[in-house]
Amino acid sequence: MRRTALLLGAALLSGLLAAPPPAAASAPGPAVKVAQVKASPAKQSGGCPTTVGFSAVIAAAKGAGTVRYRWVRGDGSRSAVKSARVSRTRAVVVRDRQTFDRTTSGWQAVEVLGRKGLSAKARFSVTCRGPVTVWDDRHHLPARPGKPLVAAASVTADPPSYGGTCPATVRFTGTIQVSRTPAKVDYQWIDSATGEGQAQSLSFASGGPRSRQVVLPMAVGSSTSGWKAIRLITAGHDSGRAAYQVTCRSAPPASPPPTTPAPTTPAPTTPAPTPPPTQKPVPSITGLTPGDYAGECLEPVAYQATGRIALPAGPAAKVTYWWILDGNKWQQQVLDFAASDQPRAQDVTAAWSLERAGAGRHTLGLMTEGGPAEPVTREFAFSCTDQPGDAKLTFHYLLTPVFHGVCDGSYGLRADGLVTTDREAEVKYRLVIDGKPGPTRSEVLRPGVKSKIGDFWYGSARTSGTGTVRLEVLNHDKPFMQESYTWTCKEREPSPGAVEITELWPVAYHGDCADAPYVTAHGAFAAAPGTEITYRWVTDGDPTAPDTLKVGQSGILEVQAAHWDRPERKDGTVVLEVLNHNKPAMRAAYPVTCR
């Protein structure tokens, strides 16, 4: 078993494991429903970076209690686990935000821990127009006196990459610019794991600088990576992602202390100056994610805490603070507060992770020098409900190609299977085509989530035929599916200036038909480079909206139809039609076999 990733230093580790407290009993959560899952805005096109918000409503179908949930993303990442108190009369709106600095599309859904499957998916797309601008000290926002306020933000991480002894500190410095003064900018930090932070404000005095910096230090106690960004609530340009990575390594043996006695300091002959009156800082813990946790522990569970150090109005001051985990002082830092006639506050964060060996109850504290005599604390429970060992995998279907086209060279084909697992597991799999094994692939699957695994290969036969596709899992309980695939060769039809459909291949469905078969089709055109082709798909007699694409320098244009359901659970047909030039069309049947 891997060592615990709590790694806040050897002293802390031994303190945790010397007398581990009993794990808290995990009561089953209430039966819940997740509705109104949406992205806002779902589609956007313009300048980047930009931020997309996600929201969903969680309510209890019956009963009441605390539900643990997290956001699952189409790129395979997941947020930290959070908790919410729900009942039939108290629905909770949960939110997440992600910042993007490149064109992308995908989805997010809510996973309720202890319940199989995901909520409906909130799909989104971001199209970045023009170059990505970094608004920092070298790239200034243009001044616009007398016009509506525009703000811009950028963020840097220092250090962006760290390898060494832990705990360590990553300091995020945000630069916020405004187009005029006076101004007040509302903003919030966005974190890759925990989503949006608290809303904060930054004021710019009349006639003063149009650029100010905000600093967010993060204490890190174990190897981790992620990013932070600034989202502007005031109209303007969000920052890009400030990525960081921390790799913790063992500390070298400590050097022995010097043996030379320290010189004696003579007693002062004059009274020491009277120190200025102290300002009492007040710490608070504002957030702990995931808080109480009971779930799988196949990977370290990432924790992140946020705190706030408040200081009354007064002269400039330095405030020393530190985090405390289970009685162990951790990562002492110093904050600089500027003089102000208003109360002041700064945010601080800490990150660490727990593994199976860290099960039990823990206490997180935050304390300041010159502040309250006792730290502010937050208790949380951590327990692992999964069992290590092989996962049980179930195949639901296998999609194999039904190729029709020109066979005068190699042509790409693909097969995909849909599987579920009873626990989070890294699955190693491969395709075996006509008895010849392909490369081994790897995918991390989540429990109860239907996941697609598959691969591609190239066909080279010159005459029509049939073969077998075997999709086999190489670990766990080693399930597999094996079905046939076919290829039908046709002659080329060369014609100068014309468009030729060189291939059309839908997929054959072989599966349990528990859900309506979900299939697709692929096609390819041959034409002179630069030719604009307007085409459409007709699936089971239902035509799609036309689309127009341009042929590249290769003279080949490949297209794929959107996936579609086959509720009738029987064989169907698909047609690929060109609507301009010489208007060729090709038709193919796709089989549906229910096991």
pLDDT digits (tens, 9 = 90+) for 29-55: 678 889 999 999 999 888 888 899 999
Output the pTM of the full model.
0.56
What is the chain's mean pLDDT, rounded? 85
Choice between 166 and 592, residue whose per-residue pLDDT is larger: 592
Q: Is the pLDDT of residue 233 over 50?
A: yes
- Beta bridge partners, 8, equal none
Kindly tell me the sign of the dihedral angle through the C-alpha atoms of 465, 524, 102, 163. positive
Q: Return the pLDDT at 10.
A: 33
Helices vs strands, H then E, count in the chain: 1, 45
% residues pLDDT > 70 (the chain): 89
pLDDT band at 6 (very low <50, low <70, confident <90, very high): very low
Average pLDDT over residues 208-234: 90
Residue 48 DSSP SS3: coil
Per residue in 294-346, pLDDT tens? 877 766 788 888 899 999 999 999 999 999 999 888 778 888 888 888 898 89
HSE toward the beta carbon, residue 209, CA cutoff 13 A: 9
pLDDT band at 197 (very low <50, low <70, confident <90, very high): confident
Q: What is the rounded distance in angstroms from the CA atom of residue 503 to the CA atom of residue 486? A: 13
Q: What is the rounded distance in angstroms from the CA atom of residue 32 to the CA atom of residue 115? A: 9
For residue 474, what are the CA distances in angstroms to 387, 390, 471, 512? 20, 12, 10, 22
For the chain, the straight-line distance linking the first and the last C-alpha, in angstroms and rounded, comes to 40
pLDDT band at 5 (very low <50, low <70, confident <90, very high): very low
Q: Which residue bears the tokens 């408040």?
A: 310
Q: What is the rounded distance in angstroms from the CA atom of residue 524 to the CA atom of residue 535? A: 11
Q: Return the pLDDT at 2.
A: 34
Which CATH superfamily is 32-128 part of? Immunoglobulins (2.60.40.10)
CA proximity to 188, closest of 144, 155, 222, 160: 155
Choice between 173 and 386, residue whose per-residue pLDDT is larger: 173
Q: What is the rounded distance in angstroms from the CA atom of residue 535 to the CA atom of residue 552? A: 16
pLDDT band at 537 (very low <50, low <70, confident <90, very high): very high
Dihedral, 398, 404, 409, 413 alpha carbons, nearest 10 = -10
Q: Is the pLDDT of residue 25 over 50?
A: no
Average pLDDT over residues 147-156: 92
For residue 326, what is the DSSP state?
T
Q: What is the rounded distance in angstroms from the CA atom of residue 381 to the CA atom of residue 293? A: 6
CATH number of 282-384: 2.60.40.10
pLDDT band at 115 (very low <50, low <70, confident <90, very high): confident
| Domain 32-128 matches domain 282-384 at the CATH topology level | yes
Choice between 575 and 89, residue whose per-residue pLDDT is larger: 575
Asked if residue 28 has a cis previous peptide bond (ω within 30° of 0), the answer is: no
Please provide residue 16's backbone torsions phi and psi, each rounded to the nearest 5 degrees.
-70, -40
Q: Which residue bears the tokens 């082709």?
A: 533
Q: Is the pLDDT of residue 522 over 60?
A: yes
- The contacts of residue 352 (CB under 8 Å, 6+ apart) are 5, 6, 7, 8, 220, 221, 222, 224, 302, 303, 325
* One-letter amino acid for residue 520 of the chain: T
pLDDT band at 19 (very low <50, low <70, confident <90, very high): very low
What is the number of other CB atoms lying within 10 angstroms of the CB of residue 446?
Answer: 19
Which range has the worst mean pLDDT, 8-12, 416-420, 561-565?
Answer: 8-12
CB contact at 8 A, 339 and 208: no
pLDDT band at 167 (very low <50, low <70, confident <90, very high): confident
- The correct CATH number of 151-248 out of 3.10.129.10, 3.40.50.720, 2.60.40.10, 1.10.357.10 is 2.60.40.10
Q: Which residue bears the tokens 């199976």?
A: 356
**Six token digits for residue 410:** 């190699």
pLDDT band at 125 (very low <50, low <70, confident <90, very high): very high
Spans of all domains in the chain: 32-128, 151-248, 282-384, 393-594
CA angle 299, 301, 306 (to 5 degrees): 155
Q: In what order do the strands lie in the sheet containing 31-40?
A: 31-40, 50-62, 92-100
What is the number of other CB atoms lying within 10 angstroms of the CB of residue 32?
Answer: 23
